[in-house]
Every structure is written in C-alpha cells, then in structure tokens.
Structure 1
Amino acid sequence: MFLFIITEDPNILENLKQGSDVNQEKYGRYFDYICKLCPQRTQKHIYSDQLKSRLRKKFRIDDLTVKAIIAYFVNKNALIVAFDDSVSINLLSNTTRKKIHDLIEEYPGVYSNIFIKFLGLGSRQVLWHISFLLEFNIIEYLSFGKIKAYGLIEIDKKLIMIGYVILKDSLRELLKCLLDHPNGSYLGEISELLGKPKNSTLYTLNKLKQLKILILSQDNKKKYSVDRKYIQIMNQTLERHKKKFP
C-alpha cells in the first residue's frame, strides 16, 4: 500500500485554481475535502485505499471517477505518491497517542483497561487513538472474548498472548502458582494454594488451557503444569512487568 502526500507548495495550490470555471468548481471541492481528511499533521498524508474509499462515499461516485480525480491531482503535483515509513513518526507526534504506542511497544498484550488505569485516559479517548494506530498498520491485536490485546505490527503473537495473561489479575495469580510448581499440581492443591473454590479455579485453568499454555497429564486424576516451552519467557515477562504492574 502507498500513500499520497498533500502538497503545501503555494505555487501548485495557486495553479489548481486556474482553468475553466467548471474545473475550478469540480476539482476545487474534491481537493478541499481531501485536505480536510488530513488536519494538523506535520506532513499531510493519506493512504491510497483510504482516500479512494472516502471519495466514493462522500461524493457517491464510482471507481473510474475516483481514479480520474486522483490522477488529475497527481498530474498537477498536488498529490505526491510516496512509499514512506515515516508515517509512523508523524502519527506519533500526538503526545497521548505516543504514550499509548509506547506502552504497547514495551508491554505487548495491554488492553483498554490498562490504558485507562495507568495513563489516566478515558475509554473513548483510548479507542480514538487506537483506531488511528490500527488504521495505519502501526499495531495489531488478538481477541480474547470481548477483550482486544494489542502489540506492534508483525510482533510474535505469542508475546501478545503471554502479556495479556500476565496483565489479567486472575490469570496471572494462577499462572504464578503453576510456575512455582513446574512438575505440576492437582486441582485441589491449586485451589488450596490460591484460597479459592475449586469451581472458580477450574474455570480459570480452563481459560489457560484454551490458550494452550497448560499441559494436562493424568495418572489417577488430572495434573496441571505450564508447558515448558513457555516457562522461561513467562518468568522473564513477569519480572519485567513488576516495574509497572506490581
């Protein structure tokens, strides 16, 4: 996918106004709308797919017309075609959005309640900035029921999953108990160590089981343990999280 950078060259902008009255009216309103799509950024830009979609919806025009409009502005150098990774830098010029991005980068697996609690943001504010980071492919997410846990784009999905488990209080508490007993424990033992009823302990164990974190072995009864391939990374992640999420 490529993006268009909107020119700020005054000579080019002035040339757009030249021509027949029909062209001034026809193309002027399109360009005004494109500029409104990209407010207050250091370098005004928009992705090609997003621009085409917005023009179609706003003016109720077909793909051929959209392409003709874009081609007109490209030929006039009003829109500059770019393959540009610096878009992430521009997006992060917003202080709040950068805080959200940096928390996701440092602690993959964070979700809405974490932003609200540790950054002091409102839920709508969080969703607004998250939508920008998702739209421009800066971050991605994994769904855990109704909860979306975030990580930077192309990160190992296991790190998002592990981070989410460690950030959820009930899952982290059970996980730490299991990590303290690497050879495995029975339901009754785990329940007793946590001081919780067996039914609620079993419910949480099943959640971890669904995420394929646990190994379930059986002799006379079920014995639960953390899959050994996750033990090191989980202990490291727990240690790192203590700095911010004690």
Structure 2
Amino acid sequence: MSTPEQVEPLVLGLIKEYLQKKPFFSIEDIITYINNRTRAKPYVNKNKIEKIIKCLIKNRRIIPGTKLMKNNIIEHPIRNEIFNYVKKNPSNINEIMRALNIGSNQVLWHLSCLEKFQFTRSREIENQRVVFLYDSDPELDEIYFYLNQDIVKEIINLLIIEKEPLKISDISNQLKKNYNTIKKYLQVLKELKLISIEKDKKRTLFKLNNNKYDKFKDLII
C-alpha cells in the first residue's frame, strides 16, 4: 500500500500539468482533475489526493487561487532578483525599488508572492515595511534595521573614535545633528543593549557596548 509521501510526487506533477492549462485552481476542481487522471492507479484514491493537497497547502507549497507553486516561485527573473537582494540586504520597499530600478507595483506584487510562499516575511519598524528572509531570526530584525541607519552608523563610529563616554550634547554637536534626534537613537541603541549609560555627577554619558556591537557589526551593509 502506497503512503502519501510516495503518492505526493505524482500529485505535484499533475497539479503542475493542471496549472499549465488553467491559471487558477480551487481545491475541489484540482481533486477532481487528479482523481480522473489516476483512475488506472489503484493505490491512489480521492481521499488520499485530498489529504496530500491539504498538506501541500498547509506547508505553503501550493496556494488556491494562484497558478504559482513553491518549486517555481523564484523562476521569474524579477522575483528572483528581489529575493536575492533581500537575502543579502533586508530592506524596505523604497530601498528595493531604488536598488533594482523596479516600479512600486511590480515590487509589491512580487513581494506578495514571495511572502505567500514563505520565502520572505515583513514587519513594520518605524512606520516602514521591512522585508526579511522568512527563515531569518526575528529577534535580530530591529538590530539589523537600526545598525543600517545612517544616523546610527554615525553615532556608533563617533563612540568608537572617541573611546570615552559622551553626553548627548557632545554627540549632537560633533555630528551636527538635532539633539532630540540623537537622543531618540541613543534610546533605541540602549534598548538594544548596544550602548550602556554611565553617570558622572549630574551628567549622563553614553558608551558603546563593544562586546555586543562586535557580535552584530557584520550585519551592517
């Protein structure tokens, strides 16, 4: 008696065959199609077909309502280009558009396909939709995002150069940046434990947490 694992390649092949004829599918239609195509195979029946298809849908290898399948999702050249870019550079929509010179509608469409099939995932950080590889560690998302912000790079580089703990006003003056902007990103870095705070009389000083930073600096693009 054949197991679902043994029948699955046959079902996948017939799904691909079906999708070459029709651009979209419903579960009922494709079960009927596969059942009709396998009548001569006694080890395949409608219940087994349905079980396999539901498993494929659960694992996001196929999705009802689209002709795409997980094994061919990145065959499209633009989708492949976006996927490979995000793989190296988790980015927001605008960054992907600029880097690859692709219009917003195309980027959004291809990203939706990649996300449906769990090649990528996205989350909101500072009102931006940032796209990451699906299998990347979500706990590193914010560290990656902030370490690649220009203002954060400038703050960290200054702390590295100066070596001594600095006040917010020192950092603001040396970088010629707004005091509140510096304060905001120092708070972010503190929450990410990339900097530490020292008290000197009434002054609050900020110092780079070198051990933590060294661990994650390779994430910087």
Deviation track 1:206-227 (CA, whole Å, cap 9, x = no partner) reads 3434545433333332222334
TM-score, with length taken from structure 1: 0.62
- Name the amino acid aligned to 2:182: T
Structural mapping, 1:65-104, within 5 Å: 71-77=31-37, 81=52, 88-104=70-86
Segment drifting more, 177-186 vs 122-131: 177-186
Segment drifting more, 150-159 vs 110-119: 150-159
- Name the amino acid aligned to 1:35: K
Cα distance in 1, alignment partners of residues 209 and 122 from structure 2? 23
What is the aligned partner in structure 1 of residue 14 from structure 2? 7
Deviation track 1:64-101 (CA, whole Å, cap 9, x = no partner) reads xx5xx554344224879475879555111111111111
Deviation track 1:150-179 (CA, whole Å, cap 9, x = no partner) reads 221221234433332233223332233234
Tell me if the contact between 1:181 and 1:225 (Cα under 8 Å) persists in the aligned partners: no
Alpha carbons of structure 1 residues 124 and 229: separation in structure 2 relative to 1, 3 Å = farther
Gaps of 5+ in 2: 1-7, 39-48, 63-68
What SS does the aligned partner of 2:135 have? coil
Residue in structure 1 matching 2:153, options 172, 192, 195: 172
The count of aligned residue pairs is 190
Residue in structure 1 matching 2:121, options 140, 164, 170: 140
Alpha carbons of structure 1 residues 202 and 92: separation in structure 2 relative to 1, 3 Å = same
Residue 219 of structure 2 corresponds to residue 232 of structure 1: no
Structural mapping, 1:88-127, within 5 Å: 88-107=70-89, 109-127=90-108
What is the aligned partner in structure 2 of residue 37 from structure 1? 24
Deviation of residue 142 (structure 1)?
3.2
Residue in structure 2 matching 1:203, options 178, 184, 191: 184
Alpha carbons of structure 1 residues 110 and 8: separation in structure 2 relative to 1, 3 Å = closer
Tell me if the contact between 1:187 and 1:223 (Cα under 8 Å) persists in the aligned partners: yes
Alpha carbons of structure 1 residues 92 and 9: separation in structure 2 relative to 1, 3 Å = closer
Deviation track 1:83-133 (CA, whole Å, cap 9, x = no partner) reads 5879555111111111111111112x3111211111111222211111111
Deviation of residue 182 (structure 1)?
5.4
What SS does the aligned partner of 1:36 have? coil
TM-score, with length taken from structure 2: 0.67
Detail structure 1 runs of 4+ shifted over 4 Å in the superposition: 77-80, 82-89
Residue 142 of structure 2 corresponds to residue 161 of structure 1: yes
- Name the amino acid aligned to 2:218: Q
Gaps of 5+ in 1: 14-30, 39-50, 53-65, 242-246
Q: Percent of aligned positions with the same letter in both sequences?
A: 18
Cα distance in 2, alignment partners of residues 143 and 223 from structure 1? 30
